[in-house]
Amino acid sequence: MDKIKVAIIGAGFIAHYHARALKALPNVQIAAVVTTKIESAQKFALEYDIENAFTDISKIVANDAIDSVVICTPNQFHAPYAIKFLESGKHVFLEKPMAINASEGHQIEKIAKQYDRSVMVGHMWRFDTDVNYVKETISSGKLGKIFKTKGYGIHENWGPTGWFTKKKLAGGGALADMGVHAIDTIRYLLGDPIPLKVYARIATHFGDYDVDDTGIIVITWDNGTESIIESGWWQPHMDGPEAGAGLFGTKGYANLFPTFLKITKGEESFEKIIPDFPERKEHCDQDIYNRQMAHFMTSIKDNKKPNPGLSEGQIVLSIVDAAYESAKTGEVVNL
């Protein structure tokens, strides 16, 4: 194909990151934007020089010239929209989480395989420079066996409003919003192990809504590592920013955001290594999204499965489902 034609579904905060990423790619054309209010769609289209602005996804479903879609809607619409687009022969990029729950994720996977289309999920920290530095360090064996990790998906003294705080639209609260980043980042750093057990304590302490704003999750992986994941909105303190992490190995320690290593040299002695990276303009910088979208477009062009894709998105959903179930029953959930 000469140019990959893409439609953006949704015109909220995250859609701007994806639009800028797509505009930076020479072999891509943003052909349309769809959102519920025509004024918002037209404003977004004007900003990014997009020819078509719609309020109905049927215009995209019926358009065979459009190759792929980027879905940036409330979580409730991820699965139904993805399925309609896959059935019409389009590749799909889904913002995280892939769906409301694991059952919906399985439905997406079934249709994607039936129509032989690609699905990529927006766990964008896999494309971060610091994250990949820590991953390569772990893979090298420099830290020994990783036996424990801590990961964070927390907003300090802040929390979202709107659809994020409505269970029907979001599926969950801080865990579904922030915790999924921490879960996928840790899993990626560890080499994508399979979760075996999940135990969670989840609560609502800061708002009058029907979703969670506080969570502590413990995951046992099939490689023997235990991971503690904290999620939250409006917390009075956070130990690390979104996707921040600490990884404890038998030979050393790695910290992500701020990123540094501590290599054990003997009793009460260690070497601290701070990588020399360019200064970040913002924590979730545009470069991460640029690399992520470039990967998705390349996977379409080369007819290869993107990563993170169906499997990666589905495993995060299974952990989130298990965490909510564990919090409800007070018991460990076996996966």
Same-domain pairing of 47 and 58: yes
Q: Name the nearest CA neighbour of 97 among 286, 312, 241.
A: 312
CATH number at residue 133: 3.30.360.10
Instruction: Clarify whether residues 196 and 102 are in a common domain.
Output: no
Considering the domain architecture, whether residues 100 and 218 belong to the same structural domain is answered as no
pLDDT at 168 over 70: yes
> Does residue 187 share a domain with residue 58?
no
In a domain, 91, yes or no: yes
Does residue 37 carry a pLDDT above 70?
Answer: yes
Q: How high is the pLDDT of residue 267?
A: 82
Using 50, 70 and 90 to split pLDDT, how confident is the model at 1?
Answer: low
Q: Could you give the CA distance from residue 236 to residue 241 in angstroms, rounded to a whole number?
A: 13
Residue 312 included in any domain: no
| Residue 130 C-beta-side C-alpha neighbours within 13 Å | 25
- The string of pLDDT tens digits covering residues 66-108 is 999 999 999 999 999 999 999 999 999 999 999 999 999 999 9
Please say if the pLDDT value at position 163 is more than 90. Answer: yes
Q: Is residue 177 part of a domain?
A: yes
Tell me the CATH number at 63.
3.40.50.720
Shared domain for 77 and 146, answered yes or no, is: no
pLDDT digits (tens, 9 = 90+) for 105-120: 999 999 999 999 999 9
- Is residue 67 assigned to a domain? yes
Residue 263 within a domain: yes
The answer to whether 173 and 233 are in contact (CB under 8 A) is yes
Positive/negative CA dihedral, 182, 137, 252, 255: negative
Structure confidence at residue 54 as a pLDDT band (50, 70, 90): very high
Q: Identify whether residues 275 and 133 lie together within a single domain.
A: yes
Mean pLDDT of 111-138: 98
Residue 257's pLDDT is 97
Tokens 């140019």 sit at which residue?
A: 3
Query: Average pLDDT, whole number, for the chain?
Result: 97
The domain tally of the chain equals: 2
Taking 80 as the threshold, does the pLDDT of residue 36 lie above it?
yes
Q: For 54, how many CA atoms within 13 A lie in the half-sphere containing its CB?
A: 16
- pLDDT for position 156: 97
163 and 73 together in one domain: no
Q: Looking at residue 268, what is its pLDDT?
A: 78
Mean pLDDT of 116-139: 98
Domain that holds residue 177: 126-280+317-334
Instruction: Judge if 107 and 214 occupy the same domain.
Output: no
Tell whether 292 is covered by a domain: yes
| pLDDT of the residue at 56 | 96
Q: Mean pLDDT across the stretch 129-138?
A: 98
Q: 86 and 176: one domain?
A: no
Does any domain span residue 311? no
Going by pLDDT thresholds of 50, 70 and 90, the confidence category of residue 166 is very high
Q: Kindly state the percentage of the chain with pLDDT values over 90.
A: 96
Same domain, 220 and 132: yes
Strand partners, 228: 150, 218
pTM of the model: 0.97
Q: Give yes or no: residues 276 and 291 share one domain.
A: no
Split at pLDDT 50, 70, 90, the class of 279 is confident
Question: Are residues 14 and 115 located together in one domain of the fold?
Answer: yes
Percent of residues, the chain, with pLDDT higher than 70: 100
Residue 256, in any domain of the structure: yes
Q: Are 213 and 173 contacting, i.e. CB atoms less than 8 angstroms apart?
A: yes
Q: Would you mind telling me the total number of residues written for the chain in this entry? A: 335
**Region 189-218: what's the mean pLDDT?**
98
